[in-house]
Structure 1
Amino acid sequence: MPKSTMKNLFFPSLRSQQIAITAVAFVLFVAVISLVLYTGTKKSVTLDVNGEKMELKTSAHTVGQLLASQDIEVAEHDLVIPSVSTPIEEGLSIRWEQAKQVLIHMDEDTKKVWTTDQNVGKILAEANVKLQEHDKVTPNQNSNLEEDQTIKIQKAFQLTLIDGGKEIPLWSTSTTVADFLKRENIQLNEHDRINGEMGDILKPDSIVEVVRVEKVTDVVEEPTNFAVVTKSDAKLLKGREKIVQNGKKGSVERKFEIVKENGKEVSRTLLSERVIQEPQKKIVAVGSKVVVATASTKKSNVVSRGASAPSGGKEFYVTATAYTAQCNGCTGKTATGIDLRSNPNLKVIAVDPKVIPLGSKVWVEGYGYAIAGDTGGAIKGKKIDLHVPTKAAAYNFGRRQVKVKVID
């Protein structure tokens, strides 16, 4: 091949390479310039994502574009400050918090709320949940929610506690009596009891009654009464009594178990008994002797009306009246058993035994010797009633002051 031909072929090829290199260099130059210009338009911002902060540069025009560039999908209830439509400016601080669903259980109802807050009290305020002073909130209002996004509210109600007889109004969120006693730190002793069952369900205005039961042992010494024994005494006039032996009370020690409810004794059980001193019987002699007055002329039995007063004996004045065994309603028998109807001439007087003992032999002025053998409802104190054979004699005697001597 001629040299001229080869030269012609070489120079066009070299020119093509130079053009390609120049084109590449130009493209690189434009790219670098573009990159410099692009980098120069980015703005520095601070992004807070759920409490974690980062510094970054962005060419996004709005907050929403920035979040999207970070693969953050903003939901309806999420918190974005400032709003997604806010233009990006140099040094802008952006905060995004993802909303979470919280369940609020209140007694039998459940409420669902979306929130970005973790504080229990603030979440309840957001949800417009009204609380009373004694309501129980779990977790408490000052704490923050952690993994379990659930708040439990137990609404308090008023009830009455009667403890040992003392009535106390209280607020409670307890469901059963047992739970209520535990929460109120009410301890039951060994014998204490409640009116009802531990498992009873509590409702508003319920009454929980705790009966305080106390068992104590009491030892007392008590007197024991003596027995009264009577025996017949033929030497004593019928109707008269004489104490032969005075009675004396004994003593016994008794041990009791006493049960008290709310401080008041409800039962007393005798556990044991021990005699300390035996009682002494009272012995009373009861007269069985029947006095029989006679109309004998012996001076030892009957003295005529005109006989003079005997010497000796207890002497005093009394008011005297007279009676007859033939009166209406009269039986004719005296208190000592003398039959006056069968023996109308017997000298017998009715007396007050406290003044003249029954069975005594007496002398009565104007009447003579007689037996104190009768009593009468109206014969009290220093009064006597003289037995005479007829009503006429009784009327004739009337009422008078006479001297009496008690001989024996």
Structure 2
Amino acid sequence: MSNRFMKSLFLGSLRSKGIALTVISFMLFITVISLVFYEGTKKTVLLDANGEELEIKTHANTVGKLLSEQEIVVSENDIVTPPMNTPVEEGLSINWEQAKQVAILVDQEITSLWTTQSNIDEVLEEAGIEISEHDRVTPSLNEQLGVDQIITIEKAFQVVLNDGGEEQSFWSTSITVADFLKRENIQLNELDRLEAHIEELIMPNSVVNIVRVEKVTDVVEESANFATETRTDSSLLKGREKVVQAGENGTVSRKFEVLKENGTEVSRKMLEEKVIKKPQKKIVAIGSKIAVASANTNTKDNTSAAKSNVSVSRNNNSAPSGGKEFYVTATAYTAGCNGCSGITATGINLNANRNLKVIAVDPSVIPLGSKVWVEGYGHAIAGDTGGAIKGKKIDLHVPTKEAAYKFGRRQVKIKVLN
């Protein structure tokens, strides 16, 4: 092959490559121009997608197509502004808020809500759920939805607390008594008594009773009563008494353990007793001497009276001098009356001599054993008592029932001679 031919081939190759480069360059130019033109015809919009702001250049002619280009799936509960069919213009602002399904649990009853709100209070307002200041909301009203998108509401109700006798009303969302006491910071002491089981359920208008119990020590000084001792005294007439030694109370100190419930004493236990002053006993002499009654010398029984060694005196209706004088209501009785034994309270045997001058008296007015003078009856001994003889009343002993009936009831003067 000659040099000329080789040269001719080489030059031809160069011409072909030049043409190819020219074509490629032209095509590249056309492409760049097209891209520049294509990009230049895009519209710039601002997209807020769930709080994330994006600047987007797009040829999409509607908001819906633009969101589709961005692979955003819009559900029926989402909020898109402006609407999906709005034409896309330069500088348009688009906002997409994706709805969330929120579960609302109100006192164990659950409801579901689709919402674009994030704050708890806004979600509840959208759901039409009213919340009082005493209700318990989790998360709290000023917080945002958590990842689990659950809102728990415990509706408050009134509970009455009777604490040591003082009643107070509380708004509570507690389930049990234990939770209620914990939330209200109510402390129980060791002896206090809760009148309910700690895990008992609390219902609206429940009453929680707490009995406040305390033990205290009480030391008191009390009077120790004296004892009375009686001794027989043969020098005193039977029925008479004489105080030989006056009684005097002593003093004793007692220490008690006192149990109180709600401030009221319910039990008292003596722990210690100490005698501070011993009591002095009272000694009383009781008379045993038998009184000797006089007999009426005007009766036919004078002889039997003398035989019974009873002193006899004449019936003298004239009032003796001296003595305490007053008026009494007088009646009469016999030794053989119904229910009578014939033996007087001072031991006089009226059966042995029906003519003995003895009267029944009230010892608080006329002491037993006293010598007396009774108008229309004469001198006598206050030697008997009677159930109906009270105050200024006397009952005169007479020989027969007929004499008693005849005497009846009358006002008489009496003198107590000793």
Q: TM-score, normalised by structure 1?
A: 0.82
Cα distance, 1:196–1:90 mapped onto 2, change above 3 Å: same
| Alpha-carbon offset, residue 135 of structure 1 | 2.2
CA contact (8 A) 1:254 1:270 kept: yes
Q: Does 1:236 align with 2:246?
A: no
Q: CA deviation at 1:80?
A: 2.7
Deviation string, structure 1 residues 144-175 (Cα, Å, up to 9, x no partner): 12434322222333332222223333332111
Tell me the alpha carbon deviations over residues 349-377 of structure 1, each in whole angstroms, 9 at most, x when there is no partner. 55554565433445678866554434456
Residues 172 and 306 from structure 1, CA distance in 2 versus in 1: closer, same or farther, beyond 3 angstroms?
A: closer
Identity %: 59
SS of corresponding position for 2:85: coil
Q: Residue in 2 aligned with 1:188?
A: 188
> Where does residue 58 of structure 1 map in the other structure?
58
Unaligned runs of 5+ in 2: 295-304
**Residue 175 (structure 2) aligns with:** 175
Confirm or deny: 8 A CA contact 1:230 1:285 kept in the other structure. Answer: yes
- Residues 112, 245 of structure 1: alpha-carbon distance in 2 compared, 3 angstrom cutoff: same
Residue 343 of structure 2: aligned partner:
333
Which moves more between the two structures, 324-333 or 377-386? 377-386
Unaligned runs of 5+ in 1: none
Structure 2 CA distance for aligned equivalents of residues 15 and 306 of structure 1: 197
The residue that corresponds to 1:304 in the other structure is 314
Q: Give the drift of 1:111.
A: 3.4
Q: CA separation in 1, counterparts of 2:311 and 2:39?
A: 166
Question: What is residue 154 of structure 2 aligned with on the other side?
Answer: 154
Q: Which amino acid aligns with 2:91?
A: G
Task: Answer with 128-137 or 257-266: which moved more.
Answer: 128-137
Residue in 2 that maps onto 1:269? 269
| 183-192 or 379-388: bigger deviation | 379-388
The match for 2:92 is 92
Per the alignment, residue 226 of structure 2 pairs with 226
Within 1, Cα distance between the matches of 2:98 and 2:404?
132
**Which secondary structure state, in structure 2, belongs to the residue aligned with residue 342 of structure 1?**
coil
* Aligned counterparts of 1:129 and 1:307: Cα–Cα separation in 2: 113
Structure 1 residue 339: deviation in Å? 2.0
Q: Following TM superposition, by how much is the alpha carbon of 1:203 offset from its aligned partner in structure 2, in angstroms?
A: 2.4
The 10-residue stretch of structure 1 (224-233 or 125-134) with the greater mean CA deviation from structure 2:
125-134
Cα offset, 1:401, TM superposition: 5.9
Cα 1:198–1:346 change in 2 (3 A) is closer
The whole-number CA distance in structure 2 between the counterparts of 1:324 and 1:182 is: 86
1:181-223 Cα shifts (integer Å, max 9, x gaps): 1111212223212111111122233221111222221111111
Aligned to 1:247: 247
Is contact 2:50-2:97 (8 Å) kept?
Answer: yes
Q: 1:270 to 1:16 in 2, by over 3 A?
A: same
- Counterpart residue type for residue 173 of structure 1: T
CA contact (8 A) 2:161 2:208 kept: yes
* Aligned-partner SS, 2:186: coil
Asked whether the 8 Å contact 2:79–2:96 carries over to 1, the reply is yes
| Structure 2 CA distance for partners of 1:227 and 1:65, relative to 1, 3 Å | same
Query: Matches of residues 31-180 of structure 1 in structure 2 within 5 Å?
Result: 31-180=31-180
Contact 1:212 1:261 in 2 (8 A): yes
Tell me: CA distance 1:184–1:324, structure 2 relative to 1, closer, same or farther (3 Å): closer
Q: 1:127 offset after TM fit, Å? A: 3.4
In the TM superposition, residue 140 of structure 1 has moved relative to its aligned partner by: 0.7
Which residue is equivalent to 1:207? 207
Shift of 1:24: 3.3
Aligned pair in 2 of structure 1 residues 68, 228: CA closer, same or farther (>3 Å)?
same
- Which letter does structure 2 place at the counterpart of 1:303? S
Q: CA deviation at 1:77?
A: 3.6
Q: Spell out the pairing of 1:306-385 with structure 2 (5 A cutoff).
A: 314=323, 316=325, 323=332, 325=334, 328-329=337-338, 330-351=340-361, 353-354=363-364, 356-361=366-371, 370-375=380-385
| In structure 2, distance between residues paired with 1:303 and 1:23 | 187
Structure 1 window deviating more from structure 2 (227-236 vs 203-212): it is 203-212
Secondary structure in 2 matching 1:160: strand
Assess if the C-alpha contact under 8 Å between 1:46 and 1:93 holds in 2: yes
CA distance in 2, matches of 1:3, 1:392: 205
Counterpart AA for 2:275:
V
CA contact (8 A) 1:226 1:248 kept: yes
Q: Could you tell me whether the CA contact under 8 Å between 2:240 and 2:368 is conserved in 1?
A: yes
1:256–1:269: 8 Å Cα contact kept in structure 2? yes
- Could you tell which deviates more after superposition, 329-338 or 279-288? 329-338
Change (3 A) 1:56 1:376: closer
* Residue type of the alignment partner of 2:345: A
Aligned residues: 404
**Partner residue, 1:290:** 290
Q: CA RMSD in A?
A: 3.8
User: d(CA) in 1 for partners of 2:411 and 2:8?
Assistant: 204
TM-score (norm 2): 0.80
Q: Deviations over 1:329-366 (max 9, x none)?
A: 35433332222332234444555545654334456788
